[in-house]
Amino acid sequence: MTAGDADSAVQRHKASIPSLKAKDYKSDVKPVWCPGCGHFGVLAALTKTLAHLALPPERVAVVSGIGCSSRLPAYLAVHGFHGVHGRALPLATGLKAARPELTVIAAGGDGDGFSIGGNHFLHACRRNQDLTYIVMDNEVYGMTKGQASPTTQPDWCRSKLTPHGTGIRRFQPAAIALAAGASFIARGFAGDPNGLTRLLAAAIEHPGFAFVQVLSPCRTFRPEQQAWKQQVHASELGPTHDTAQAAELIQRDDGLSLGLLYEQRIPLYAAGVAADAADDLTAAERLAAIEAEHCR
């Protein structure tokens, strides 16, 4: 089947299923997040996005790591995989390579994605595989009782582990994503599900690696983040495809600006892009060739 045939089949499948609503993408599992957690807004926005895009649930896969935010796949009526800490992107990358027809979404938090998963984040950005990465950033490790995370301010001193603050400069997700080569960078707010829905729809439809940082307040360990609702604002320059302009904007940004910050159309990564005549060999012949080259 050619790519065109596959697309036609998807369209026919869409036409054959009844119109879906956001609630149709929710599972029967009740979220165990704390009351008022920002992640509820992300769940609402994502289900609205899937319904808006009319994506058949069996053609959507959500992959996560470990943390409060990484419980997301359990609350969705789509394919889901709850992986190990920091490994959402390798899992999502492998799934997309093996099943390119699926809409693959990776989800996690600021600790999962930028600390133990930081190296995977860098290389997923530069690889530019066609998948979406949603990071719910509350600047704290919430599931393990409120330790400082990579995006925590250096003077935040409410954790017993860092009672005088971390003294470490904050990780800058958008700046790192841009430097690493991400082709779509956006920031949303969990308290604005409609605006976040628009961003997620644009991210999923973008042909390439789409990174969406979601400011998702933690009422339990970071109650001061409830003020974000009054502090967030639209990005002053709007989206740009100019890397230098985006870098300037992001570097002087206060971290509370919302919207699409950067989008560029660049070549997609595709599994097998470097294939050669070895594809005509059997698995045993390929293994023998590898052993002959590297095991002498």
Q: What is the pTM of this model?
A: 0.84
Distance from C-alpha of 113 to C-alpha of 104, rounded to nearest angstrom: 16
- List Cα–Cα distances, 29 to 63, 71, 79, 173, 264, in angstroms: 17, 10, 14, 31, 38
Architecture of the CATH domain 22-272: 3-Layer(aba) Sandwich (3.40)
Query: Which backbone phi and psi does 244 adopt, to 5 degrees?
Result: -65, -40
How many degrees, rounded to 5, is the angle at CA 160 between CA 158 and CA 166?
Answer: 65
pLDDT tens per residue, the chain (296 residues)? 454 554 554 454 454 556 899 999 999 999 999 999 999 999 999 999 999 999 999 999 999 999 999 999 999 999 999 999 989 999 999 999 999 999 999 999 999 999 988 899 999 999 999 999 999 999 999 888 889 999 998 988 888 888 898 999 999 999 999 999 999 999 999 999 999 999 999 999 999 999 999 999 999 999 999 999 999 999 876 788 999 999 998 998 999 999 999 999 999 987 655 444 445 566 666 667 666 666 65
Which residue shows structure tokens 């599900």?
193
Burial (0-12, 13-18, 19+ Cβ within 10 Å), 57: middle
Asked if 215 contacts 187 with a C-beta cutoff of 8 angstroms, the reply is yes
Query: Could you tell me which residues are beta bridge partners of residue 109?
Result: 136
> What's the start-to-end Cα distance of the chain, in Å?
41
Distance from C-alpha of 289 to C-alpha of 295, rounded to nearest angstrom: 10
Q: At what angle do helices 193-205 and 39-52 cross, to 10 degrees?
A: 50
Residue (of 221, 234, 219, 149) closest to 188 by Cα position:
234
Distance from C-alpha of 142 to C-alpha of 224, rounded to nearest angstrom: 14
Burial (0-12, 13-18, 19+ Cβ within 10 Å), 7: exposed
